């Protein structure tokens, strides 16, 4: 067995791999870039070495040799499915904890992989390797890049007149993402479900499967919620898919843990087709671990060390049901754009598994994938597992960073999801019902009460210091102008924290009381006791029941000359980099005309002028890093400019 293993990854998967290595008594070595210098992977490893990039093969190999590591675990993403990296490790005398480079290479090219497994008797989706075969395949069809994955470059084509434009677009994205513009043309399977089989293979010819995972809840071909087992499959189909996955692994001399992905029609569940093989550990591997009781990382390490699998296929037993949700730093209300910021506090659920890399003070930037954590729940049956996952997500909070937790809970509550009637298009069809664009009034009430607590002096106080809004005749209360996302509210609060009346906008007044207790704000409101996780970082962050809201206070002033509801800053919708600046200070622009382009996680967002006017301020330049909601430019309306001229 190895004495020292280097983990060539970051984030939650680095933490998860190191947990198993420590349990096995193996010394752990982390690598990190400047952006990750203060993260948990650095603090929790036995040793940590700086590298220029997680994609820098020479840097990683050099770090492994310097640390005395006998093996490297690649996690997933980055270099995990890079045949050159696997070969570089072998050339340096370091064991790559994964399949041989030849297997990675064979399965990394979809065209070659499809031919290989088809020759082994595995059913494949009808199609071809040239868009000219489209008429033979029939419509609708899918265009898929031969290299790469993650949904990049995929295009659904429903009729011949869409083909040319789709091919051009798919080739361009494939070349940009993978350096290879070759495409596959495949029949589109109606109401498709994405089901994958976990395989384990040793270097002595022994291959088994560990059942399936249902991964059909996706958005833009990215998985969101995964579960094991799938409610679609009967025992006979499960056995046939497992045998096909084993044969696919055998066909390329596979070793270690891998996943064979199939597409299955919800209308014809007995018919399945090979899509691709992921030659690495999957993000969703914990659901398989919870229903089988096996540690997949441990078996990866043991197989890489030359051990034989001690398990036969008949030894594998499945117990209960497991469901996983991916928590991302993204804002569903803004089209799921990546977010970021400094983590002010972490609220984690009890009684379930949480794979996470978060800690207070962690900086979530746009440099890497926005996944923050995975929450995985087990139950004796699917209903129990889904319920436990929902309750666990209600306890998740990451003040300082906007996440998708509210969206995840809405998805779990959907009747079709609840009953297992799912397919890969469900999320897109129901997106409008799953995304919240409003902020509940209770958060404004709680924020006003928190502000009153802040303003109220402790102990014996001068009556003039009490924020009662006193005036002749009666108390007038204190008025705050609060903002949460795109929502603003004028909130009046009268009384003391122990007994107050709050009015939000035109709503009816409500009686409230509350106090701070450590990092919690405790509130009695509308006949209910509510406890919020409280954190302060510029805005006040309040989290409860899976919702985490940043609330800021704006000056409560009447508009004066020089102010306009249409004027004001043009802010960045996400943390990222300014790619292009299209205007200059003093330039006249029309409403909707492009001003700047901001990029994060390979997603470009064009910012436009909100009104006809003049670029009165331009605060950034191309190449500059910007934060979420940072002011980048100001466009002053023409009418306001004329008014200012008249005043002068």
Q: Which residues of 75-97 are buried (b: 16+ CB within 10 A; e: fewer)?
A: bbbbbbbbbebbbbbeeeebbbb
Q: Indicate whether 113 belongs to any domain.
A: no
Kindly state whether residues 393 and 251 are assigned to the same domain.
yes
Kindly state whether residues 159 and 209 are assigned to the same domain.
no
Kindly state whether residues 304 and 430 are assigned to the same domain.
yes
CATH number of the domain encompassing residue 37: 3.40.50.20
Strand partners, 28: 5
Residue 297, helix vs strand vs coil: helix
Kindly state whether residues 163 and 224 are assigned to the same domain.
no
Last residue of a domain, one of 187, 207, 233: 187
DSSP state of 272: E
* pLDDT tens per residue, range 279-304: 999 999 999 999 999 999 999 999 99
CATH number of the domain encompassing residue 232: 3.30.470.20
| DSSP code string of 418-446 | HTT---TTHHHHTHHHH---S--HHHHHH
Kindly state whether residues 417 and 505 are assigned to the same domain.
no
* pLDDT tens per residue, range 324-348: 999 999 999 988 988 999 999 999 9
Query: How would you classify residue 341: left for phi > 0, otherwise alpha for psi between -120 and 50, otherwise beta?
Result: left
- Which of 428, 432, 398 has its CA nearest to residue 329? 398
What is the pTM (predicted TM-score) of this model? 0.84
* pLDDT tens per residue, range 374-401: 999 999 999 999 999 999 999 999 999 9
390 φ, ψ (degrees, to nearest 5): -60, -45
Query: How would you classify residue 89: left for phi > 0, otherwise alpha for psi between -120 and 50, otherwise beta?
Result: alpha
CATH number of the domain encompassing residue 150: 3.30.1490.20
Show the CA angle centred on residue 213, arms to residues 211 and 217, nearest 5°.
165
Kindly state whether residues 73 and 14 are assigned to the same domain.
yes
Domain residues for 529? 441-554
Q: Indicate whether 590 belongs to any domain.
A: yes
Which one is predicted more confidently, 447 or 574? 447
* pLDDT tens per residue, range 594-609: 999 998 766 678 899 9
Residue 239, helix vs strand vs coil: helix
Kindly state whether residues 478 and 492 are assigned to the same domain.
yes
> CB under 8 Å to 444, separation ≥6 — which residues?
482, 484, 489, 491, 504, 551
Kindly state whether residues 338 and 374 are assigned to the same domain.
yes
Q: Is 128:116 a contact under the CB 8 Å cutoff?
A: no
Kindly state whether residues 169 and 89 are assigned to the same domain.
no
Averaged pLDDT of the chain? 91
Q: How far apart are CA 145 and CA 232, in angstroms?
A: 28
Q: How confident is the model at residue 556 (pLDDT cuts 50, 70, 90)?
A: low
Kindly state whether residues 314 and 416 are assigned to the same domain.
yes
Strand partners, 5: 28, 71
Number of domains composing the chain? 5
Query: 490: how many CB neighbours lie within 10 A of its CB?
Result: 14
The residue to which tokens 């470009």 are assigned: 604
Last residue of a domain, one of 554, 582, 604: 554
228 φ, ψ (degrees, to nearest 5): -145, 135
Kindly state whether residues 322 and 407 are assigned to the same domain.
yes
Q: Indicate whether 232 belongs to any domain.
A: yes
CATH number of the domain encompassing residue 524: 3.30.700.30
Kindly state whether residues 365 and 299 are assigned to the same domain.
yes
Which one is predicted more confidently, 592 or 644? 592
Is the backbone peptide bond immediately before 140 cis, with ω within 30 degrees of 0? yes
Q: Which two tokens stand for residue 359?
A: 């800690």
Is the backbone peptide bond immediately before 237 cis, with ω within 30 degrees of 0? no
């Amino acid at each position: 067995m190895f004495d020292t293993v280097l983990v060539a990854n970051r984030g939650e998967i680095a933490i998860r791999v190191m947990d198993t290595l420590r349990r096995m008594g193996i010394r752990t070595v982390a690598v990190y870039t400047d952006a990750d210098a203060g993260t948990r992977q650095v603090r929790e490893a036995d040793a940590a070495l700086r590298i220029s990039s997680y994609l820098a093969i020479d840097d990683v190999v050099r770090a492994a040799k310097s640390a005395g590591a006998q093996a490297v675990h690649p996690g997933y993403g980055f270099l995990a499915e890079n045949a050159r990296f696997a070969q570089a490790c072998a050339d340096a005398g370091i064991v790559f904890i994964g399949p041989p480079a030849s297997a990675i290479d064979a399965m990394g090219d979809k065209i070659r992989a499809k031919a290989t497994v088809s020759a082994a008797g595995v059913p494949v989706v009808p199609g071809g390797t040239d868009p000219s075969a489209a008429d033979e395949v029939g419509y609708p069809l899918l265009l898929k890049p031969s290299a790469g994955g993650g949904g990049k470059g995929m295009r659904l084509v429903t009729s011949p007149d869409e083909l040319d434009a789709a091919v051009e677009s798919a080739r361009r994205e494939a070349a940009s993402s993978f350096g290879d513009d070759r495409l596959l043309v495949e029949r589109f399977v109606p109401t498709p479900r994405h089901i994958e089989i976990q395989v384990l293979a040793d270097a002595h010819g022994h291959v088994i499967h560990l059942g399936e995972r249902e991964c059909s809840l996706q958005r833009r071909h990215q998985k969101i919620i995964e579960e094991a087992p799938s409610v679609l499959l009967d025992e006979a189909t499960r056995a046939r898919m497992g045998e096909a996955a084993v044969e696919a692994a055998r066909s390329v001399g596979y070793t270690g843990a891998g996943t064979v992905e199939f597409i299955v029609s919800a209308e014809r569940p007995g018919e399945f087709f090979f899509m691709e093989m992921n030659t690495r550990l999957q993000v969703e591997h914990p659901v398989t671990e919870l229903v089988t009781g096996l540690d997949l990382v441990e078996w990866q390490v043991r197989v890489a060390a030359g051990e034989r699998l001690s398990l036969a296929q008949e030894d594998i037993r499945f117990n209960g049901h497991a469901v996983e949700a991916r928590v991302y730093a993204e804002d569903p209300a803004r089209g799921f754009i990546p977010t970021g910021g400094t983590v002010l506090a972490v609220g984690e659920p009890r009684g379930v598994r949480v794979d996470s890399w978060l800690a207070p003070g962690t900086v979530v930037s746009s440099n890497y994938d926005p996944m923050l954590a995975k929450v995985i729940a087990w139950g004796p049956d699917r209903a129990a597992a889904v319920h436990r996952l929902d309750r666990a997500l209600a306890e998740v909070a990451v003040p300082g960073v906007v996440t998708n937790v509210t969206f995840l809970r809405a998805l779990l509550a959907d009747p079709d999801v609840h009953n297992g009637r799912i397919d890969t298009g469900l999320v897109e069809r129901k997106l409008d019902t799953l995304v919240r664009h409003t902020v509940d009034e209770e958060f404004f009430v709680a924020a006003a009460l928190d502000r009153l607590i802040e303003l109220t002096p402790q102990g014996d106080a001068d009556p003039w210091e009490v924020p009662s809004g006193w005036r002749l005749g009666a108390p007038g209360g204190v008025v705050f102008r609060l903002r949460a996302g795109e929502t603003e509210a004028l909130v009046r609060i009268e009384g003391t924290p122990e007994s107050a009346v709050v009015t939000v906008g035109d709503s009816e007044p409500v009686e409230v009381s509350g106090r701070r207790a450590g990092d919690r704000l405790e509130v009695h409101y509308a006949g209910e006791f509510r406890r919020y996780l409280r954190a302060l970082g510029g805005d006040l962050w309040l989290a409860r029941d899976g919702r985490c809201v940043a609330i800021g206070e704006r000056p409560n002033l009447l508009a004066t000359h020089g102010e306009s509801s249409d004027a004001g800053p043009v802010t960045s919708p996400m943390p990222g980099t300014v790619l292009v600046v299209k205007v200059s200070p003093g330039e006249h622009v029309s409403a909707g005309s492009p001003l700047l382009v901001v990029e994060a996680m390979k997603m470009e967002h064009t910012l436009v002028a909100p009104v006809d006017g003049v670029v009165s301020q331009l605060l950034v330049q191309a190449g500059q890093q910007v934060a979420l909601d940072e002011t980048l430019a100001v466009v002053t309306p023409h009418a306001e400019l004329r008014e200012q001229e008249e005043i002068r």
